Structure 1
Amino acid sequence: MDSESDQQPQRPAHLYTGSEHPFDPEDLVMARGQDPTPERVEKARKLIEKEGARALERYLP
């Protein structure tokens, strides 16, 4: 019988939430589960300017 660890998927050594790396307004729109329309991308750009990384962190683990 295989051990339980053999059945578990391999996880990367480092997990990222996304905000510690550069991100675009399109990334924020997609993190919200929306399609990146021009209006949504512009709204996301303004939110990033206002809140910085916090704008993305609320949508990621």
Structure 2
Amino acid sequence: MPTSQPEESRPPEERTTPDGLLHARTGTDVSPEDLVLASGKDLTPQNLEWARRKLAEEGPAALDKILP
């Protein structure tokens, strides 16, 4: 049975990435399709319209609010 190791003693590839280093976007434009898929919804005309409205209101930050 493996024992728990302190974070510092684990190999780098086994460490958890700190939240401050995680990024949701790559600096590119966010499409309605991106927003729908990130929200876990199906690509339907209704969901795409929802995403268009949300992007119009909130801009690319809408994606940041959905993703962890």
Shorter-chain TM-score above 0.5:
yes
In proportion to residue count, which structure has more helix? Answer: 2
Structure showing greater relative contact order (alpha-carbon pairs closer than 8 Å, 6 or more residues apart): 1
How many pairs are equivalent? 56
Q: 1:19·1:53 contact (CA, 8 Å) conserved in 2?
A: no
Distance 1:51 1:7, change over 3 A: closer
> For structure 2, which runs of at least 5 residues remain unmatched after alignment?
1-9
Stretches (4+) displaced over 4 A: none
Give the percent of matched residue pairs that are identical in Structure 1 and Structure 2. Answer: 36
Of 35, 41, 45, the match for 2:48: 41
Matches of 1:6 and 1:26, distance apart in 2: 35
CA RMSD of aligned residues (A): 2.5
Q: Structure 1 55/7 Cα, relative in aligned 2: closer, same or farther at 3 Å?
A: closer
User: Highest Rg: 1 or 2?
Assistant: 2
